[in-house]
Amino acid sequence: MLEERLRHQIRYFQSKEHIEEIGTVTYIGDGIARAVGLENVMVSEMVEFANGSIGMVQNLESNDVGIIVFGEYVNIHEGDLVRRLGRIMEVPVGKELLGRVVDPLGRPLDGLGELGARKTRPVEAEAPGIMDRQSVKQPLQTGIKAIDALVPIGRGQRELIIGDRKTGKTTLAIDTILNQKGKDVICIYVAIGQKESTVKNIVSTLERYGALEYSVVVTASASHPAPLLYLAPYAATAIGEEFMYEGKHVLVVYDDLSKQAAAYREMSLLLRRPPGREAYPGDVFYLHSRLLERSAKLSEELGGGSLTSLPIVETQAGDISAYIPTNVISITDGQIFLESDLFFSGVRPAINAGLSVSRVGGSAQLKPMKQVSGTLRIDLASFRELEAFTQFGSDLDAATQQKLNRGRRTIEVLKQRLHKTLDVEKQIVVLYALTHGFLDSIPIESVSDYEDGLYEFLETHYDVVLHDIVRHQALPEEELMDNILEEYTSQFRPASNAAAKMEF
């Protein structure tokens, strides 16, 4: 009996041994570790140190491996053990992240407890192929007249926001997020190397305007180590991809990629990678191209979801021909260039219409918007030229004077107050009024009042006309539009002490 039992146990014996590959730390410092003994480790594989910190393998060399450390590294020492986790770097994803503030590893930073996300995605993923995409043709409304009219953005597009510091780049992106309320777009804001007080203010703004409920904030602030700043955009894109492959529409704001490039340079130099131009490593272009190529409008077979990118890049003294700006310009589908001179002269948003472009163009615009904004860019360009020319002379013919007057009113109409986004149908009506001369008789300092009164007048008396513009995606009959605007213009009375009431 005993013999039979022993035979049975031997026959069905299963070893529960778990073999792990464990290495030894040979160097640690500045967020970089080197280890020997990890013979079969993969690039981008996660490893765990004795103190519980997570690292990611970056360099595979003949003698050892280079690892970037995401957590505390002060209490990691030479001789400590490091073990493979057997999986590529990943981040928690899913609807549980909506309304939350997390770091690039998916750890909550808002004090609201654990995420409870059950699913994870690799931070690095292959971009959708040509056959998996469809052309960008559905508009992503920013609520900002100067963008929706001059440099329209489509769902699935990559539009760069570029300019010097303190020219309103972040404000432009945050206003775009605020305008997605009720438009079935999930927004992800990535703060890379920002001050923690700045991120706190942005989260408070999103909360105040009810935008946090459909947003995720991923932050690697200036106090975080360089590896986390490098990882943040990839982690945010992985979170967005989860929604995109579910057929949803996603907007990701990368604020900003200049700081990510600087963090990558720091990391690469510490890993002893050879430096190139401006000490950036040779693959700094690939750093951003493999990130931004993941933005797409998916084919209907894959659910038709989209991921739209608004990368932000900071320039020095308006130099858009510097290394990182030119790299990102060549990857994206257009750029919105913000100019310091315009900003400080009170033209806000300070968009330079000449240097800003959308390579998707009219494909991502509603037909009525295309009709009213068709000549706007040319009119603005010719106004700038005339304005510079007429500084040298005072005698102007009537046609030139009329062009100058129209140009000044165009600039006034394109100004917009902070966090005051505008529905596209209202934009269309005010641009129609501008291009058809209804503003020509309005004093420049009263244009803002005229605009505010027009929106109120339309909502009160012609609400159905506004709805029809979007529902039918067509302008109402010209006679009807003219009658509405004549009725309002005739009853508009400019304030005697009118002054431009811009809130910044």
Residues annotated as part of the active site = 359
Angle at 146 between CA 354 and CA 201, to 5 degrees: 115
| Cα 347 to Cα 171, 351, 415, 418, 500, distances in angstroms | 14, 8, 6, 12, 11
Q: Is 55 helix (H, G, I), strand (E, B) or coil?
A: strand
DSSP labels for 414-438? H---TT----HHHHHHHHHHHHTTT
* CA atoms 240, 242, 244, 246: torsion sign: negative
Other beta carbons less than 10 A from residue 425's beta carbon: 18
Instruction: Give residue 152's region: left, alpha or beta (phi > 0; psi -120 to 50).
Output: beta
CB-facing half-sphere around the CA of 166: CA atoms within 13 A: 3
The answer to whether the beta carbons of residues 415 and 347 sit under 8 Å apart is yes
Q: Please state the length of the chain.
A: 504
- Decide if 192 contacts 257 (C-beta within 8 A): yes
232: left (phi over 0), alpha (psi -120 to 50) or beta: alpha
Token couple for 151: 């440099």
122's tokens: 């690799």
